[in-house]
Amino acid sequence: MKNRCLLYYGNPVGYRTEQGVVADSMFRREELEDWLARKGLAVRWEDGIYDRLSSGGYQKAADNGPALKSCRIWQLGPQLPPPCASLGWTA
């Protein structure tokens, strides 16, 4: 848990509520369920929580406010040469 946000292997998968935790159902694993039970947290599994948390930063997911920051990861396809090759560098 960090700032009321449940992180699982670095991914924001849920958030803390008065009743326990709301978590994204795609991360439903025995390991996570056991950890939450040991902490005494009831969990409600819902779809789409990860997407809301990822697009809205670590703010409260329930309020669906504007995103605090945005990030894109571009991945080059296998048909493109490595960036260093275009500079004349070799590995």
Backbone φ and ψ for 5, nearest 5 degrees, come out as: -105, 130
Which residues have C-beta within 8 Å of that of residue 64, sequence separation ≥ 6?
Answer: 52, 56
pTM given for the model? 0.58
pLDDT at residue number 30: 93
Residue 15 has pLDDT above 80, yes or no: yes
Q: Which residue has the higher pLDDT, 22 or 76?
A: 22
Q: pLDDT digits over 17-71, tens only?
A: 888 899 999 999 999 999 999 999 999 999 988 888 887 754 544 454 445 456 6
β-pair type (21-24, 43-46): parallel
Residue closest to 7 by CA, chosen among 30, 25, 34, 32: 32
- pLDDT band at residue 88, thresholds of 50, 70 and 90? low
Q: Which of 53, 56, 50 is nearest to 68 (CA)?
A: 56
